[in-house]
Structure 1
């Protein structure tokens, strides 16, 4: 489970270090930085997929993701005693992302390349990476370190250089994953690859989830929900079938769900509603009903991930469905660490009924995202491995 998340110089996140729990609720007013925090976590996930540089390119390049304010916001600036002005930068401009879990921690620093004649002068480069043992980085706890193109690993009391020409656009996880020499790199990579993000469920008239689809064993719902019927059938066969029907009746009393197996191996949804003479097909369901079924399939997965991130799950749902969705999320948090990014007051209130709900309320001050009520002495201990 992630214990700490640290971000520096990413959009409105000038310097943010936050403690995490098993069920994390990220909320705040519009424009407070919820989306930036979510995107920063997705960037961290891309390090293990080999796509962090491309992901930054899709965001408009590294320049556009850097914090746009002054390098530091002094107390005088925050109180309005002096105007906010740019000063001579004291540190190299770096976008930094990192986390610490129960066993290992990881941090990455990205920056712009040294000017050359190459046409790719704005391509982000990975300047530094580190993997360490435990929750807090200390030089003695470091296991793997990468400084530009050089990678070294801990070898007893000494360091051993294992690579001197690593690509500047690929992370450690893409190039150094030797189960004998760097088992922690392989373990951490597979853990991060197991993170699941759900934020693009389609429920429009042409959504794949509405149409019969070829059914294959599906313990993990696709991020866009295309294999919904197969995922629900998988839960029925090897997951918690009772919890599945309870989740349906909790939101829609008197209703139940079945999966029709059509010719050619295709699966189709059948939603049985009290008072109707026939079940409704996926094409006939309302957007809200379909989205709720998608969340049921995602949250009751028979293969819980180490981390599940839900971005605004209340979208298209009627407010009366939100308490039932909250109960589903709380149940999922018994088996996996969960992040919920939301501004729906009814969902927030229902989630906060859980005793282990960790609410992180974001606010903005002079363009900088901060955690409401989190003072400097309350922040988790965090040191960036490169000392800056």
Structure 2
């Protein structure tokens, strides 16, 4: 489980930290930085996929001209805070070992390049809480004109000539592939694994309405392959029954079954069958119904990711159904196998959060006269717990109290 994300000079965050729980809800006004947090997670995910920096920032194509990876929004020109030459990201996660767990922290500092120069890693490290020596620590030699690193493993500089690190690719992936030390390689692989099983869902009704081939069981970021993912779920009677129950709860449809008719190319398209025999295909289903189905498919599929980032969780969802969606999400994350970060503009969703989830709801915000964005857990805002107990959190969000409270706090600190 990821426990913390630190952003230094990354996009509109000069220095900010996000504390993560099983469900982490991000609220804040437009342009406050919520989507930039998504970009930070995607950058780290790109490292776990063994991409070099140019591929992470740009795009990754494979044979046949297939786009495998979409780059980071804004590319290298807009990734650093104002006039800064480098940015750094640090992520902490639990590392299970011998029936116990430790907190590990991976940090990378990058110069994204300028004037046509390639991006390079400046510094990188992997540490474990309570251990004096880093698992590894790397420093670039770029200033001396060399395109490689000085790397210390366990506090000792490696001398094995087979190790040759390039600063165009994160050291973590290079160590995971080549370091001779089994314990170091094992820890590096664990760090890669912590960042590898990630999905970033920004669902598009148009993509979800497209037919897909049976066997395409990975839901695309925009909801591609929805029909074939649901078909796989329905092959398990228990999963199919759970899916039907959620559809009946979340929509006004009296759904009793699903069908997956094939077209002349062999691709299938979902049809929902109601008790009265009415059939509704994915083509004519409402946007909200499709979003529900895609989120259910992501959470109930045979091989769910360990980490999901949902953009605008409430988008297209009727307010009277939000509590059911939240119930499904909180039930799944309570099992300890899935972690979710989601953005929202919905006051209603805040009102419905369980006490456990409220602990990790965070506000992203900017002060009107300053360019940098900040992150603060709602319960860490002064007097927030007392005010929330006395008043409706949704009303506080609607009225702008959260932003006013942090603005007042900033004025007090400035005047001291």
* Normalised TM-score (structure 1): 0.77
Give the Cα–Cα distance (whole angstroms) in 2 for the partners of residues 286 and 129 of structure 1. Answer: 47
Match of 1:175 in 2: 174
Tell me if 1:230 matches 2:221.
no
Q: Which residue of 2 aligns with 1:198?
A: 201
Measure, in 2, the Cα distance between the counterparts of 1:21 and 1:52: 29
Q: Distance in 2 between matches of 1:274 and 1:51?
A: 53
Contact kept in structure 2, 1:152 and 1:161, CA below 8 Å: no
Deviation sequence 1:199-236 (CA, Å, 0-9, x none): 1x2213xx3x3244220162x42223221122112223
1:105 is displaced (CA, Å) by 1.7
Question: Which consecutive residues of structure 2, in runs of 5 or more, have no partner in the other structure?
Answer: 59-70, 96-103, 141-147, 383-416
Q: Per the alignment, in what secondary structure is the counterpart of residue 158 of structure 2?
A: strand
Aligned residue for 2:11?
11
Separation (CA, whole Å) in 2 of partners of 1:112 and 1:52: 8
Match of 2:80 among 66, 70, 77: 66
> Is the contact made by 1:194 and 1:306 (CA closer than 8 Å) also made in structure 2?
yes
Q: Equivalent residue of 1:361, what SS?
A: strand
**Alignment correspondent of 1:292:** 292
Identify if the C-alpha distance between structure 1 residues 236 and 343 changes in structure 2 by more than 3 Å, giving closer, same or farther. same
How far off its partner does 1:354 sit? Answer: 5.3
Structure 1 unaligned segments of length 5 or more: list them: 70-91, 377-388
Residue in 2 that maps onto 1:128: 123
CA distance in 2, matches of 1:232, 1:151: 49
Secondary structure at the aligned position of 2:354 is classed as: coil
Summarize deviations over 1:32-69 as a string: whole Å, max 9, x none: 22112222221221222215434435544434222127
Map of 2:345 onto structure 1: 343
Seen in structure 2, the aligned counterparts of structure 1 residues 45 and 234 have a Cα distance that, compared at 3 Å, is same
1:189 alignment partner in structure 2: 192
**Inter-partner Cα distance in structure 2 for 1:266 and 1:112:** 42
Cα separation, 2, equivalents of 1:344 and 1:161:
56
More helix by share: 2
**In 2, distance between residues paired with 1:341 and 1:287?**
18
Q: Residue 246 in 1 paired to residue 260 in 2?
A: no
Q: CA RMSD in A?
A: 2.9
SS of the residue 1:6 aligns to: strand
Superposition map of 1:212-231 within 5 A: 212-216=211-215, 218=217, 220-231=218-229
Pairing of 1:108-147 with structure 2 (within 5 A) = 108-111=108-111, 120-121=116-117, 123-134=118-129, 140-147=132-139
Instruction: Please give the secondary structure, in 1, of the residue aligned with 2:205.
Output: coil
Query: Which residue is equivalent to 1:381?
Result: none
Higher relative contact order (CA 8 A, sep 6+): 1
Match of 2:54 in 1: 53
Stretches of 4+ moved more than 4 A in 1? 161-165, 373-376
Cα deviation, residue 185, structure 1: 1.7
Give the Cα separation in 1 of the matches to 2:112 and 2:297: 42
- Tell me which moved more, 9-18 or 327-336: 327-336
Question: Per-residue CA shift, 1:243-280, capped at 9, x if unaligned?
Answer: 212211111242244132537754321112354x4311
Pair 249,168 (structure 1): closer, same or farther in 2 beyond 3 Å: same
Aligned-pair CA distance for 1:282: 1.5
Distance change in 2, residues 1:5/1:101 (3 Å): same
Q: How far apart, CA to CA, are the structure 2 residues paired with 1:183 and 1:311? A: 33
Rounded to whole Å, the distance in 2 between the matches of 1:363 and 1:107 is 24
Corresponding residue for 1:383? none
